[in-house]
């Protein structure tokens, strides 16, 4: 059973009661991420996420870590392009203690200079890890090409030179601007009674004051001209990330896009996996994926390939894009994709963290609960012509592409991505 309460100051509370559960997963979601930053603050959202665990007047950073461990469940946090989340899962009897701990570090973190300096080095090591992980770096380079100078083109961690200059005042200004009541959503899934959950939260969060400024208004991204670039680096493989502009997460065509992604490269029976890995042995890792926001999104393809097989792989990808654009998928293939999507939906429902995330994201993006029946009905209504028309519209634009590895621009036969006329 789904419940929603909005405090007078704008804080939203959503919960899903699952009677048979013995645990509860709680998340504090803040509607702020890397896309709310500019060049001189890029990395602020992620830095703040780290700092909230680094001490309050009543708890040191080690005490916060110890208390989270003593609760016996799990806890974590993450920052994305458009949201920051702090979450934990505990036995239902420990919910009051978890809420008390969350309220303390969320509202009372000290942002002590010595902790900021210590955490700066941790984050810089995290940035170095991404730079040493070609699969992750390739995605960041691709997004930089796709979104250009729009904040969506920035990285979540921020660049070294900006993080190295991040100071206490900049972090506090970020919190003041964006950690405001109307941007906060509490979500809980499991053996939780909604009114009891609201009562626990109200003591600390119902009295939060609205601020006149709620941060900068988000700038909608614009579609840029096709971009293709090689980033030469001495690696064993060439890591290719390509994609095209998709649609917002709330688009009425989202179910068509979901199925198109599954058909293209979303599982082991998908066309890219079968053609590139199983039939030709060109790559170990190849898949397609979706990334969507409230006002935009994209569909991407990634593969890691021996440089000698790069151009053949590009040709195969383009051929599969053309097939989906010009020929309707057969009924059994579409039926299999629908079954896969439905099964994934209900398997995820057995995971409390996934259920908590689902109701929180529904609130952030839709402002309401999107139940399982609505999703199943949306998937069921998609037909083969829907998929073909959508593929033609998306893939006909061409694919912005980033290639990272031991190759140069002259090694890549870009014309292989041009596609069939009319696609």
pLDDT tens digits for 283-305? Answer: 999 999 999 999 999 999 999 99
Same domain, 233 and 184: no
Which CATH number is 190's domain given? 3.30.830.10
Provide the CB-side half-sphere exposure for 104 (13 A, CA).
Answer: 20
Same domain, 282 and 391: yes
Average pLDDT over residues 62-70: 92
Range of the domain at 93: 2-205
376-411, pLDDT tens digit by residue?
A: 999 999 999 999 999 999 999 899 999 999 999 999
Same domain, 65 and 130: yes
Q: What is the mean pLDDT of the chain?
A: 95
What's the confidence (pLDDT) of residue 215? 54
Give the percent of the chain with pLDDT over 70: 97
Give the residue with greater pLDDT, 74 vs 367.
367
- The answer to whether 185 and 363 have CB atoms below 8 angstroms apart is yes
Same domain, 177 and 264: no
Average pLDDT over residues 349-373: 97
Active-site residue identified among 37, 49, 119, 363: 49
Same domain, 134 and 68: yes
Q: Is residue 210 part of a domain?
A: no
234-261, pLDDT tens digit by residue?
A: 999 999 999 999 999 999 999 999 999 9
Same domain, 324 and 288: yes
Q: Is residue 211 part of a domain?
A: no
pLDDT for residue 331 is more than 70: yes
Q: Write down the residue that tokens 């053949």 correspond to.
A: 312
Q: Of 205, 220, 236, which closes a domain?
A: 205
Q: 79 falls in which pLDDT band (50, 70, 90)?
A: very high
- The answer to whether 391 and 260 have CB atoms below 8 angstroms apart is yes
The residues that bridge with 3 in the sheet, in sequence order, are 15
220 is catalytic: no
Same domain, 196 and 261: no
Same domain, 154 and 115: yes
Average pLDDT over residues 322-339: 98
209-238, pLDDT tens digit by residue?
A: 876 555 567 889 999 999 999 999 999 999
Q: Is residue 109 part of a domain?
A: yes
Same domain, 399 and 295: yes
Q: Is residue 317 part of a domain?
A: yes
How far is residue 384's CA from residue 321's CA, in Å, rounded to a whole number? 15
Q: Is residue 213 part of a domain?
A: no
The residues that bridge with 335 in the sheet, in sequence order, are none
How far is residue 418's CA from residue 423's CA, in Å, rounded to a whole number? 9
Same domain, 194 and 245: no
What's the confidence (pLDDT) of residue 420? 62
Q: Is residue 422 part of a domain?
A: no
Q: Is residue 218 part of a domain?
A: no
pLDDT for residue 422 is more than 50: no
Host H or E run for residue 6? strand 2-6
Q: Is residue 187 part of a domain?
A: yes
Residue 396, C-beta contacts closer than 8 angstroms, at least 6 positions apart: 325, 419, 422, 423
pTM: 0.95
- The answer to whether 345 and 14 have CB atoms below 8 angstroms apart is no
Task: State the total domains in the chain.
Answer: 2
List, as own/partner pairs, every contact residues 275-284 make where C-beta atoms lie below 8 angstroms and the sequence separation is at least 24, other chains included: 275/316, 275/319, 275/320, 276/303, 276/313, 276/316, 276/317, 280/312, 280/316, 282/306, 282/309, 282/312, 282/313, 282/316, 283/309, 283/313
Same domain, 158 and 256: no
């Amino acid at each position: 059973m789904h419940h929603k309460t909005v405090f007078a100051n704008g804080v939203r509370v959503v919960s899903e009661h699952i009677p048979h559960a013995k645990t509860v997963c709680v998340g504090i979601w803040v509607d702020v991420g890397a896309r709310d930053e500019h060049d001189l603050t890029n990395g602020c959202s992620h830095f703040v996420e780290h700092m909230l665990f680094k001490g309050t007047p009543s708890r040191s950073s080690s005490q916060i870590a110890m208390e989270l461990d003593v609760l016996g469940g799990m806890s974590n946090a993450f920052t994305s392009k458009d949201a920051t989340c702090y979450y934990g899962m505990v036995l239902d009897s420990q919910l009051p203690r978890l809420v008390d701990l969350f309220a303390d570090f969320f509202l009372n973190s000290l942002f002590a200079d010595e902790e900021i300096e210590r955490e700066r080095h941790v984050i810089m090591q995290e940035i170095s890890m991404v730079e040493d992980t070609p699969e992750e770096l390739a995605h960041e380079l691709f997004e930089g090409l796709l979104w250009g100078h729009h904040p969506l083109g920035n990285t979540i961690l921020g660049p070294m030179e900006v993080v190295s200059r991040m100071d206490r005042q900049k972090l506090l200004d970020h919190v003041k601007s964006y950690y405001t009541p109307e941007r906060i959503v509490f979500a809980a899934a499991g053996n939780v009674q909604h009114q009891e959950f609201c009562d626990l939260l109200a003591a600390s969060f119902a009295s939060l004051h609205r601020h006149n400024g709620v941060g900068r208004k988000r700038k909608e991204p614009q579609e840029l001209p096709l971009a293709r670039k090689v980033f030469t680096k001495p690696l064993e493989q060439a890591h290719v990330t390509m994609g095209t502009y998709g649609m917002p997460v709330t688009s009425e065509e989202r179910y068509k896009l979901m199925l198109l992604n599954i058909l293209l490269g979303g599982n082991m029976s998908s066309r890219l996996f079968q053609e590139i890995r199983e039939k030709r042995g060109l790559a170990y890792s190849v898949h397609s994926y979706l990334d969507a926001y409230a006002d935009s999104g994209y569909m991407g393809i990634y593969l890691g390939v021996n440089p000698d097989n790069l151009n053949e792989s590009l040709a195969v990808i383009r051929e599969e894009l053309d097939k989906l654009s010009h020929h309707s998928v057969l009924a059994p293939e579409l039926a299999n994709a629908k079954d896969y999507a439905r099964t994934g939906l209900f398997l995820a429902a057995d995971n409390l963290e996934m259920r908590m995330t689902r109701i929180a994201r529904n609130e952030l993006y839709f402002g309401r609960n999107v139940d399982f029946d609505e999703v199943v009905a949306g998937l069921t209504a998609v037909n083969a012509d829907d998929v073909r028309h959508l593929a033609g519209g998306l893939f006909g634009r061409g694919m912005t592409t980033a290639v990272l590895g031991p190759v140069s621009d002259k090694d890549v036969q870009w014309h292989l991505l041009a596609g069939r006329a009319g696609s």
